[in-house]
């Protein structure tokens, strides 16, 4: 993992997908170079920028200024902030706006926002005119280390999250870490759960580095760029080896089976953000691995201690308003898309940095484990 820290210069991570390969460029203040980079990539292209209301107020003017200074014409499509926009209605609005703006096959969509905008704009790009190219400009920590990389795009169905969508890789990702300076601390912290996840699933040295340096990652350069680059390199490697999640990519779901159930049980509300649910889910996945005798209790305690130190929830009692009941959680876990033929698939660990896919987890064992947690065992 860890190349020594240098002063903030842009780092480039290549996602090696043959004809669909692309670069993730990471650095502080990179937004100013967006116009030049688009001009070099796609001379003569026009751009439609998709953003949400919050991000548009903060960062749309600078985005347009960068495009303008490279003589690139742009249209803006702004939708309400929040998960509610990953809907058929907003998807339709974006597609119609792209068509109305006469965006053609050689033009580009720019997704300026967090994971919601990346998923939505990416899915619209995959669909309009049977596929337009798009550029990700992620503005949350979660989007910079996770959702902007790997080409999963989509919207929510009334029957579940992310059930309508497509694999559609961006042609470029511009990760300007200065955009995170305006992100509310709670959102930054929630995104950090995914950062820690990369260490915990496959890179023990990175996790040890985070234990020492997390405060600098929160504070800014150059530790922040370093951490984001390590995460993008890890995800890029996994995506290049398993784009369609037939194997290794599932490791990125560490903490997400418990996490999704907790998130859904809280109604996808402010009570528990996605990253907070993931932190608690990771703590539970480590404790469950210890319960199954795969790791020492002290290893699980070390993983939880770091997440708790940054202020993330690691116990069911940390959920504001109380965690959902065991019955509700078990129903939600059973509905999760990772269920196959009655047994559950979990990402478990043989140590920090040593996650693996376990396809044969017994439902009763999970229930007994969670019951023990609730009764404080
Ligand atoms: N495609 C993937 O591989 C993938 C992976 C993980 C998550 N996701 C999806 O990502 C979504 C969550 O993403 P998210 O956590 O980025 O949420 P988000 O996009 O809703 O952003 C969170 C909040 O922060 C605001 N915001 C964004 N950037 C800001 C900035 N720079 N300054 C101030 N405020 C800012 C937004 O307006 C929003 O209110 C979920 O829908 C999830 O399903 C997708
Ligand atoms: Zn996640």
Q: For residue 190, give the ligand 1 atom closest to its CA.
A: 15
Minimum CA distance residue for ligand 1 atom 7: 147
* Cα gap 348→362, rounded to integer Å: 13
CB 287 within 8 A of CB 370: no
271 catalytic, yes or no? Answer: no
140 lines ligand 1 (CB under 6 A): yes
Q: What angle do CA 373, 331, 167 make, to 5 degrees?
A: 110
pTM strictly above 0.75: yes
Ligand nearest to the CA of 168: 1
Contacts 24+ apart (CB under 8 A), 223-227: 223/5, 224/177, 224/180, 225/8, 225/11, 225/26, 225/27, 225/28, 225/177, 226/2, 226/3, 226/5, 227/145, 227/195
116 lines ligand 1 (CB under 6 A): yes
**Maximum pairwise Cα distance, the chain:** 63
53 catalytic, yes or no? Answer: no
Probe residue for ligand 1, chosen from 116, 235, 272 as the CB with the greatest number of ligand atoms within 8 Å: 116
Catalytic residue among 59, 256, 306, 373: 256
Q: For residue 143, give the ligand 1 atom closest to its CA.
A: 16
Residue 240 CB-half CA count within 13 A: 16
CB 57 within 8 A of CB 80: no
pLDDT at 105: 92
Pairing label, strands 355-361, 343-349: antiparallel
274 lines ligand 1 (CB under 6 A): yes
Q: What is the pLDDT along the chain (377 residues), one digit of tens a residue?
A: 445 445 557 899 999 999 899 999 999 999 999 999 999 999 999 999 999 999 999 999 999 999 999 999 999 999 999 999 999 999 999 999 999 999 999 999 999 999 999 999 999 999 999 999 999 999 999 999 999 999 999 999 988 889 999 999 999 999 999 999 999 999 999 999 999 999 999 999 999 999 999 999 999 989 999 999 999 999 999 999 999 988 899 999 999 999 999 999 998 889 999 999 999 999 999 999 999 999 999 999 999 999 999 999 999 999 999 999 999 999 999 886 555 666 899 999 999 999 999 999 999 999 999 999 887 65
pLDDT at 299: 97
Centre of ligand 1 from the C-alpha of residue 118, in Å: 8
């Amino acid at each position: 993992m860890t190349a020594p820290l240098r002063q903030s210069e842009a780092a480039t991570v290549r996602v090696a997908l043959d004809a669909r390969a692309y670069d993730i460029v990471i650095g502080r203040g990179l937004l100013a170079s967006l116009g030049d980079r688009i001009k070099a990539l796609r001379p003569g292209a026009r751009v439609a920028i998709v953003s949400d209301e919050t991000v548009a107020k903060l960062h749309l003017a600078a985005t347009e200024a960068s495009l303008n200074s490279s003589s690139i014409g742009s249209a803006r499509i702004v939708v309400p902030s929040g998960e509610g926009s990953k809907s058929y209605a907003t998807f339709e609005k974006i597609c119609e706006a792209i068509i109305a703006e006469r965006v053609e096959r050689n033009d580009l969509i720019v997704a300026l926002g967090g994971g919601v905008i990346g998923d939505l704009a990416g899915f619209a790009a995959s669909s309009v005119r049977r596929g337009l190219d798009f550029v990700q400009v992620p503005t949350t920590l979660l989007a910079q280390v996770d959702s902007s990389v790997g080409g999963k795009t989509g919207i929510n169905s009334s029957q579940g999250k992310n059930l309508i969508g497509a694999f559609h890789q961006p042609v470029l990702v511009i990760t300007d870490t200065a955009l995170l300076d305006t992100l509310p601390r709670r959102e930054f912290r929630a995104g950090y759960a995914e950062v820690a996840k990369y260490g915990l699933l496959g890179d023990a040295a990175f996790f040890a580095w985070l234990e020492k340096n997390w405060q600098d990652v929160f504070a800014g350069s150059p530790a922040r760029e370093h951490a984001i680059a390590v995460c993008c390199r890890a995800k890029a490697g996994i995506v290049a080896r398993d784009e369609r999640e037939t194997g290794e990519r599932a490791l990125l779901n560490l903490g997400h089976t418990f996490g999704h159930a907790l998130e859904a049980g809280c109604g996808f509300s402010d009570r528990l953000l996605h990253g907070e649910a993931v932190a608690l889910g990771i703590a539970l996945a480590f404790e469950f691995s210890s319960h199954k005798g795969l790791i020492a209790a002290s290893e699980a305690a070390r993983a939880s201690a770091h997440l708790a130190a940054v202020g993330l929830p690691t116990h069911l009692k940390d959920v504001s308003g109380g965690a959902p009941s065991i019955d509700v959680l078990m129903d939600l876990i059973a509905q999760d898309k990772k269920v196959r033929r009655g047994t559950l698939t979990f990402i478990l660990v043989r140590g920090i940095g040593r996650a693996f896919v376990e396809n044969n987890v017994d439902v009763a064992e999970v229930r007994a484990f969670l019951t023990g947690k609730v009764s404080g065992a």
